[in-house]
Structure 1
């Protein structure tokens, strides 16, 4: 009897362990469906090496869908870049003791906008997918998915070159300190995204 009791207890314990070690995936209800969006997900997130953005465009014309997708992705990337570069400029200037702080800050912001606009020309496509939605009785619709990236190193280098040409800023500018501030802001950006 004691042995039977021990076997039952062992079986219950094994069942408990088997259930608790089961899949940790989240379950979805019957009426839900997981959607996989092309050119999106963790592989397309901004990281230490590159800023990334993804978007899609939709139109009855495939070229228009592509233009919309690229425009949306570039707008997202530009917004992200401006946000990070503004924080980098703010934090870099505030970490320096300067008499002409306001003037230097304005120059940093102006340079950031110029560099962002110029560097957007250096983006590269890292994913492109076209699909067509067949609509019964109406015109088909094209969807174009795109992911783009811009090298973080190229951005810092372009910003450095822009700042080093400005005589007022050059006196107080330290590239290594700026790059360190940039890397800190990239880390914050990734963690808060």
Structure 2
């Protein structure tokens, strides 16, 4: 929860920082973060694959350290190229960190313990234990794709259109949250019915 909140704050503040303080155009920031999101998609899967081969805690340690360095390097981003390269490293390592963390949890907790720890359930039970990292990397792809689309969305709405854009973005979040709640309720209902049978 804290990581999701900090990521949301980071995206909002970083878009404002790079457009207002550094002076990059909103389209440049959106494009750079979009490219970095694409790198994050590849990094999520690659880190999962690597977690199966060299142990996930090593992957996570390297990804966390490199992510921290990338965050510091944002202060050096003075043009579009440097900004995009730093964003690729930061978002790529954040995605790698998530995949390796999920791979570690998948190995540490099995069976009913997984449900207690992360509410995982059957989806992770279907994964081959020897390839848990690759499976976790693939499962993190949705988050990475969202990271790729979010900057362009924030740029196209909030940054370019001010208050009207922020209201449109807020409405999009309300719709997405409502849809997620409906889907989750439907899944719980189906799972409960299957358990009762």
TM-score, normalisation: structure 2: 0.27
Q: Which has the higher contact order (CA 8 A, sep 6+)?
A: 2
Which of the two has higher C-alpha Rg?
1
